Structure 1
Amino acid sequence: MELTLLGTGGPAGLPLPDCPCARCAAATGSEARAATAVLVDSTLLLDLTPGPAFAAARAGRSLSGVRQVLLTHPHDGPALEVPAGLPAPVRLPDRQELALISGHRVRALALDSPGTGYLVTGPDGERLLYLPPGAAPAGAGGGAGHGGPCDTVLMDVAGRPDALAGLREAGLVGAGTDVVAVHLGHAVPPGAELRRRLAAAGARAVPDGTTLTVGAYHGGADGPEVPRRTLVLGGARSGKSVEAERRLAAFPGVVYVATSGTRDGDPEWAARVAEHRERRPASWRTEETCDLVPLLEREGPPLLIDCLALWLTHTMDAVEAWDDTRWVRGGAAELTARVDTLLEAVRRTPRLLVAVSNEVGSGVVPATSAGRRFRDELGRLNARFGEECEHVLLTVAGVALPLR
């Protein structure tokens, strides 16, 4: 199957008329996007974008061969512009199948929000999954069946990363699936930042007018490769934990490793912990532990470790590193050995890993030898941990800056 994306934007497109926001200001050239609509093999049109005939012409296509137009948006979705000569747009009822004379088969999927998704199977068996904005299949695939991973998925990755996690869990997205983000609107950052976020989720974005061949994508050099190990650094309230959580939001069953533990009788700390918990997807599991090596050594779902600074505090407590005499007489060597063991586990871990740590050393020099010791050891730990990671990011004022 050959897909031509006549538009890749949200229902209102980008930029919005008379909108002065930074996102609209950056939406020029290939970053400008019409409402998402997809032409399949020049015979099936999924959704309508404003000026569809002109959009098709700009992409070197014609709508003259279209025999079926299917809608996905809710009934109160954007206004439709139906060019003369196109069949009247229709919406298939949930789980109903439609066979086209061209050899394409279309199955309507039940969603967890208003609207309709479609699973399109081409004459040669290639499979395309197309979802409207803000939607995910209801239940285990919304009635998509058990045909294995789709070849191409077009969906609202930026707005519903949890939907992508659900598709992975249901087996509809695999390592070779080409996941293309569409319905891109005001909620997504422009340019390189959008590409970086999508790549971390195993997805990509393409400009309006792009033509894709379903089944031709094989991952790796042809598209985004999810880094297996990532370190996210940042100062207090810099957005480092949010960035780490965002990087795994599109994966199912994440294990969130909280190294902070609990502090009885401290309501302010309890409020911080509750804030973190409320941000996480319900499907994530939390483990409160500083015993990281066994988790890293086992096969399993992705790990998010938050954070290394608290792990180091716990470990320095264990080796009595705060006492100057104990530090000189064996505490330093014991801490080094424990850090070495942790880094060896990071190097060999079979799991997808994102770790968070505090960036230190840019401000006031601690007044005590113990404080300076912690600062120095955390700086060394961050540097050595970063050496084991494919990606290292520094968050400043909520912006993630790639260092590697």
Structure 2
Amino acid sequence: MELTLLGTGSPAGLPEPDCPCARCAAATGEEARAATALLVDGTLLLDLTPGPAFAAARAGRSLSGVRQVLLSHPHDGPALEVPAGLPAPVRVPDRQELALISGHRVRALALDAPGTGYRVTGPDGQRLLYLPPGAALAGTGTGEGTGAGTGQAGGAGGARGSGGARGSGGAYDMVLLDVLGRPDALARLRQAGAVGAATEVLAVHIGHDVPPGSGLHRRLAAAGARTVPDGTTLTVGAYPGPAAGPGAPDVPRRTLVLGGARSGKSAEAERRLAAFPSVVYVATGGSREDDPEWDARVAEHRERRPASWRTEETCDLVPLLESEGPPLLIDCLSLWLTRTMDQVGAWDDERWTRGGAAELAGRVRVLVAAVRRTPRRVVAVSNEVGSGVVPATPAGRRFRDELGRLNARFAHECEHVLLTVAGVPLPLR
């Protein structure tokens, strides 16, 4: 199947009309995006972008061969523009299937939000999944239900209703969805096996609430997804992999996110794993008695995390790193170091010089070796210190120095290293 993206933006497009925000101001050239619409093999149109005929012409395509126009999400804006000669757009009832004379089969999938998802199977068996903005598949996340309804769907080209789910299960060749708005939708697809290593994941419905330019591409790449400019034509089933160029998925095994207090480092770390299922959140801070302010911080982090994540409150990181399992998010290394320095007596000068320093160095070596060998995807958070006032006490300077050394050794083992400043992640590696 050949797929042309006539638009890749949110329903309001990018820039949004009359919006003064910095993101909309920067949305020029390839960063400008019309509302998402897909043209499949020149015969099937999924959703309508404003000015669809012009959008197709800019992409070097024509709408003259379109035989079916399907809508995926509720439309609450201006009246849809339907160019002359196009069939009237329709929405297929959930779990019904259309068979087009072109050989394509389209099945409507139930969602957990208003709208309809579509599974399109090409004449040669390639399969793509398209979800509207802000939506995930209902149920198991595979979209392979066994709905029994039958019915006649409107539109030219010999489309007809069909009961039952046609097409095999397993991973799709291509998935297009709201990766940034609903990363959990992608996580559920991965959990169900509907997105695998050979699935090309494309982000669409991109609006002004995401970072511009390279920041957008880095965030998508960390989720195993990418985006392309409006007008791009792709072949379903011809997954390009990392050779696709800038913005192609490059999901690292190990990532270290550094930053100062309230810099956004924890939120950035969580975003990097939001599209993956069954993440284990490793909280090294534990709980503290009679400290409501600390409890409020912990609650804030907990409420931000997906409900499917599991929490481990521990500083015993090595067994987790050495075992097989889902991704780990370690938050944070500075608290692990504090606890470990407590255990080796680092705050007592005499004990520190008589073996505490050597014991701490040994524990750091073991941790770093476990990071080097880990079979799991790992995102770790740590504080970046040493850029401000020199601590007034020997213990404070000792902690600063040891955390700097730990960060450097941990970063040495990571494919990606980020520094967050004022909520903006800056790639160091």
* TM-score between the two structures when normalised by the length of structure 1: 0.98
Amino acid at match of 2:50: P
Check whether the contact 2:142–2:189 (CA below 8 A) recurs between aligned residues.
no
Tell me how far apart the structure 2 counterparts of residues 78 and 285 of structure 1 sit (CA, whole Å).
44
Tell me how far apart the structure 2 counterparts of residues 77 and 103 of structure 1 sit (CA, whole Å).
33
Report how far residue 77 of structure 1 moved: 6.1
The CA RMSD measured in Å over matched residues stands at 1.1
Tell me how far apart the structure 2 counterparts of residues 96 and 76 of structure 1 sit (CA, whole Å).
24
The superposition leaves residues 61-107 of structure 1 with CA deviations (integer Å, 9 ceiling, x where unpaired) of 00010111010012546631100100111111101011111111111
Map 1:392-403 onto structure 2 (within 5 A). 392-403=417-428
Question: Which of 335, 354, 362 pairs up with 2:379?
Answer: 354
Map 1:85-234 onto structure 2 (within 5 A). 85-141=85-141, 143-144=143-144, 147-222=169-244, 223-234=248-259
Tell me how far apart the structure 2 counterparts of residues 232 and 255 of structure 1 sit (CA, whole Å).
17
Check whether the contact 2:45–2:68 (CA below 8 A) recurs between aligned residues.
yes
Tell me how far apart the structure 1 counterparts of residues 117 and 76 of structure 2 sit (CA, whole Å).
16
Which residue number corresponds to residue 286 of structure 2? Answer: 261
Check whether the contact 1:177–1:219 (CA below 8 A) recurs between aligned residues.
no
Tell me how far apart the structure 2 counterparts of residues 370 and 142 of structure 1 sit (CA, whole Å).
54
Question: Which of 276, 281, 288 pairs up with 2:306?
Answer: 281
Report how far residue 266 of structure 1 moved: 1.0
Question: Which of 369, 377, 380 pairs up with 2:405?
Answer: 380
Question: Which of 325, 333, 344 pairs up with 2:369?
Answer: 344
Q: Sequence identity of aligned pairs in percent?
A: 84
Report how far residue 189 of structure 1 moved: 1.5
Tell me how far apart the structure 2 counterparts of residues 144 and 77 of structure 1 sit (CA, whole Å).
32
Amino acid at match of 2:269: A
Amino acid at match of 1:399: V
Which residue number corresponds to residue 38 of structure 1? Answer: 38
Report how far residue 144 of structure 1 moved: 2.5
Check whether the contact 1:261–1:288 (CA below 8 A) recurs between aligned residues.
yes
Report how far residue 197 of structure 1 moved: 0.4
Amino acid at match of 1:45: L
Amino acid at match of 2:2: E
Check whether the contact 1:238–1:395 (CA below 8 A) recurs between aligned residues.
yes
Map 1:319-334 onto structure 2 (within 5 A). 319-334=344-359
Tell me how far apart the structure 1 counterparts of residues 379 and 325 of structure 2 sit (CA, whole Å).
14
Tell me how far apart the structure 2 counterparts of residues 321 and 169 of structure 1 sit (CA, whole Å).
44
Amino acid at match of 1:382: N
Check whether the contact 1:128–1:214 (CA below 8 A) recurs between aligned residues.
yes
Check whether the contact 2:130–2:176 (CA below 8 A) recurs between aligned residues.
yes
Tell me how far apart the structure 1 counterparts of residues 68 and 28 of structure 2 sit (CA, whole Å).
32
Tell me how far apart the structure 2 counterparts of residues 111 and 349 of structure 1 sit (CA, whole Å).
36
Tell me how far apart the structure 2 counterparts of residues 262 and 17 of structure 1 sit (CA, whole Å).
48
Amino acid at match of 1:332: A
Tell me how far apart the structure 1 counterparts of residues 77 and 18 of structure 2 sit (CA, whole Å).
22
Check whether the contact 1:43–1:68 (CA below 8 A) recurs between aligned residues.
yes
Report how far residue 261 of structure 1 moved: 0.7
Report how far residue 192 of structure 1 moved: 0.6
Which residue number corresponds to residue 250 of structure 1? Answer: 275
Amino acid at match of 2:15: P
Question: Which of 203, 213, 236 pairs up with 2:261?
Answer: 236
Check whether the contact 1:309–1:357 (CA below 8 A) recurs between aligned residues.
yes
Which residue number corresponds to residue 57 of structure 2? Answer: 57
Report how far residue 16 of structure 1 moved: 2.1
Tell me how far apart the structure 2 counterparts of residues 141 and 293 of structure 1 sit (CA, whole Å).
33
Report how far residue 358 of structure 1 moved: 0.3
Tell me how far apart the structure 2 counterparts of residues 107 and 352 of structure 1 sit (CA, whole Å).
34
Q: Are 2:11 and 1:16 equivalent residues in the alignment?
A: no
The superposition leaves residues 319-368 of structure 1 with CA deviations (integer Å, 9 ceiling, x where unpaired) of 11111111111111110110000000000000000000000101111111
Check whether the contact 1:252–1:301 (CA below 8 A) recurs between aligned residues.
yes
Which residue number corresponds to residue 370 of structure 1? Answer: 395
Check whether the contact 1:232–1:244 (CA below 8 A) recurs between aligned residues.
yes
Secondary structure of the residue aligned to 2:4 is strand
Report how far residue 218 of structure 1 moved: 4.5
Tell me how far apart the structure 2 counterparts of residues 326 and 79 of structure 1 sit (CA, whole Å).
76
Tell me how far apart the structure 2 counterparts of residues 17 and 271 of structure 1 sit (CA, whole Å).
39
Q: Which segment is superposed worse, 317-326 or 352-361?
A: 317-326
Report how far residue 198 of structure 1 moved: 0.3
Secondary structure of the residue aligned to 2:128 is strand
* TM-score between the two structures when normalised by the length of structure 2: 0.93
Q: How many residues end up aligned between the 2 structures?
A: 404
Check whether the contact 1:255–1:302 (CA below 8 A) recurs between aligned residues.
yes
Report how far residue 224 of structure 1 moved: 1.1
Which residue number corresponds to residue 316 of structure 1? Answer: 341
Tell me how far apart the structure 1 counterparts of residues 423 and 75 of structure 2 sit (CA, whole Å).
37
Name structure 1 gaps, 5 residues minimum. Answer: none
Tell me how far apart the structure 1 counterparts of residues 322 and 425 of structure 2 sit (CA, whole Å).
28
Secondary structure of the residue aligned to 1:90 is coil
